[in-house]
Amino acid sequence: MIRIAVLTAAAAIAFAAPAAAAEVRVSLVGKTAAQIDADLNRAARTVCMRETFGETLITDAYGRCVRATLKVAQARLAEVQAAD
């Protein structure tokens, strides 16, 4: 099983392309599904805060970023779990 999930602000498509996308690593070792979900949510908020800092409409940009980043992260997690 994968031990680390990497969240990249794939949601940067909602914004002008950043010079470098923010990235956060989330350990999955020995965690329940609820703990993984909470960690992914926390990581998405962290990534998106970095990516949307200085945006004119930061509240809207941040919300879009979190939703899109979580969608990508959960899809990647499902792919990994299906492969195991």
% residues pLDDT > 90 (the chain): 5
pTM of the shown model: 0.70
* 16: pLDDT strictly greater than 60: no
Mean pLDDT, the chain, integer: 76
Residue showing tokens 């879009």: 64
Structure-model confidence comparison of residues 46 and 55, the more confident one: 46
Please give the pLDDT value at position 4: 52
| Residue scoring higher pLDDT (28 or 42) | 42
pLDDT band at 31 (very low <50, low <70, confident <90, very high): confident
> What's the rounded Cα separation, in Å, for the pair 62 and 11?
10
pLDDT at 56: 82
